[in-house]
Amino acid sequence: MSAAPFFDRPAADTWQARAHGLRQALQADAPVRDQAGGRPVAALALLKGSGLLPALVPVHQGGGGASVSSLLRAVRELARTDASVALLLGHHIAAVLGLAVHGSAQAQALLDATARQRWLWTHPLDTDLPTLGARRIGAGWLLDGTLHAAAGLHAADRLLLSWPDVRGPRVTASLRLDHPGVGQPVLDDGFGLRQAGGGTLLLSAVQLAEAELLGAAARPTSPRADLPVLLQQAAQLEVFIGSAWGALEEGRAYTLTASRPWIHSGVERHEDDPWIQRRYGELALRVQAATELADRAGRDFDLARAAGDDLKDAARDALAVQIATAHLEAAEAADAAGSGIFELMGARSATVANGYDRFWRDTRTLRLAQRTDARQRTLGRWLLGGAVPLPPPVMPAAAFAAPSP
């Protein structure tokens, strides 16, 4: 039996099938786009045309009514070729869920617009970064400050912001990217995720009218309110999983077609070297184990989302533990596969043109931003009787961005 089905398993549903088609379209020039960096114009057009962006929006609002687990698998599929595009989709579905959880009439209208205009949403990763300065002016607000987002700023035309109000609940507002006072984004110059569109955005005396405010969230303190930030973490771990599979698949293809046996290996074909075989087996085992944890987290997420306002603290906490565990194992698997394939392919594989290093660079960049060492400590603390490893509350406490149609 060939090992091909190990990598190309049938799509579980229509959303994974669409992601597979998009991945095939992105595959041809993935290394070239990675080297170019910047705004992936053609890739963004393909993403918008794939039908994946409105998938999480309910059917009665014009969306696809997809499950969370289906779209997480779609993120994984894209990451097998292009982690930047996968991260864009992952942040998008987390932000769309954030709108749904917010629950106000204005938020529901934004969901309608997302389905109708195929908006792509994103949001910041790190609440430790400088926050917005917000001052009330009559019924509106005046905003000043610098925002940082890990993805999407190079294609955005609308932001969804939230900030504290000493007079009452947090304030949430929709902001056009062509609004007076909104500067041009300055994109990060990282060695990984070069087309994800992370960067900074300067707001200078941005005046928001009352009509641009979203109103109070329906149930801001319920366990359900934590689902968007948990989905953000689940989407990121799928970028790790997909990148690990991509590295393993492309490394295997090179090994079978281009690698040469070591002069002292005693074999005529590189793939017959027992050491090469053992290392591929080790990497495959590690990636499969991480995948199983991710699949379990996706199924648990569907159950939590289906519970709606009846979701209990205990169920949310169990989901947080499952996602934290899968996230850590996925990061380790991606690191091992992304760097380990070079030892197995050989020195001639390490060229700019081949672009195999993008898997390691992309996941290493994401892993540094996610502080996986701190996550391991947090999970260990929970096992020893400490707090549940919930991520920091970045939604709706910070910004989301929606790109131009």
Tell me, what's the pLDDT at 145? Answer: 86
The total of structural domains in the chain comes to 3
Do 213 and 234 belong to one domain? no
Please report whether residue 159 resides in a domain: yes
Planar angle of CA 279, 284, 286, nearest 5 degrees: 95
Tell me, what's the pLDDT at 126? Answer: 46
User: In sequence order, what are the beta bridge partners of 122?
Assistant: 401
The CATH number given to whatever domain includes residue 143 is 2.40.110.10
Helix (H, G, I), strand (E, B) or coil at 202: strand
Do 243 and 372 belong to one domain? yes
Do 234 and 371 belong to one domain? yes
Please report whether residue 108 resides in a domain: yes
Please report whether residue 124 resides in a domain: no
> Which DSSP state fits 226?
G
Summarize the confidence of residues 240-253 as an average pLDDT: 96
Do 292 and 378 belong to one domain? yes
Tell me, what's the pLDDT at 150? Answer: 80
Greater confidence (3 vs 237) lies with 237
Highest mean predicted confidence (pLDDT) among 110-114, 144-148, 243-247: 243-247
The answer, yes or no, to whether residue 107 has pLDDT greater than 50, is: yes
Domain extent, residue 335, equals 223-383
Summarize the confidence of residues 376-394 as an average pLDDT: 76
Please report whether residue 373 resides in a domain: yes
Tell me, what's the pLDDT at 372? Answer: 73
Whole-angstrom Cα distance, residue 329 to residue 399? 29
C-beta of residue 137 within 8 angstroms of C-beta of residue 389: no
Tell me, what's the pLDDT at 103? Answer: 85
pLDDT band at 399 (very low <50, low <70, confident <90, very high): very low
Do 228 and 334 belong to one domain? yes
Per-residue pLDDT reduced to its tens digit, 27-68: 989 999 999 998 899 999 999 999 999 999 999 999 999 999
Do 22 and 147 belong to one domain? no
Do 250 and 324 belong to one domain? yes
The CATH number given to whatever domain includes residue 348 is 1.20.140.10
Please report whether residue 127 resides in a domain: no
pLDDT band at 5 (very low <50, low <70, confident <90, very high): low
Do 242 and 326 belong to one domain? yes
Do 70 and 151 belong to one domain? no
**Final residue before a domain boundary, out of 91, 117, 143:** 117
Burial of 202 (0-12, 13-18, 19+ CB in 10 A): middle
Tell me, what's the pLDDT at 390? Answer: 76
Q: Comparing C-alpha atoms, which of 147, 215, 222 is closest to residue 400?
A: 147
**Final residue before a domain boundary, out of 117, 143, 176:** 117
Please report whether residue 122 resides in a domain: no
Q: Which of 55-69, 309-323, 375-389 has the lowest mean pLDDT?
A: 375-389
Phi-psi region of 398 (alpha: psi -120 to 50; beta: other; left: phi over 0): beta
Greater confidence (71 vs 261) lies with 71
Planar angle of CA 246, 93, 28, nearest 5 degrees: 30
Please report whether residue 369 resides in a domain: yes
Starting at the edge strand found earlier in the chain, the sheet holding 186-187 runs 133-137, 140-149, 199-208, 186-187
**Final residue before a domain boundary, out of 89, 117, 145:** 117
Tell me, what's the pLDDT at 400? Answer: 39
Do 234 and 212 belong to one domain? no
The mean predicted confidence, pLDDT, of the chain is 87
Per-residue pLDDT reduced to its tens digit, 72-90: 999 999 999 999 999 999 9
Please report whether residue 211 resides in a domain: yes
The CATH number given to whatever domain includes residue 52 is 1.10.540.10
C-beta of residue 237 within 8 angstroms of C-beta of residue 331: yes
Do 229 and 309 belong to one domain? yes
Do 229 and 374 belong to one domain? yes
pLDDT band at 246 (very low <50, low <70, confident <90, very high): very high
pLDDT band at 6 (very low <50, low <70, confident <90, very high): low
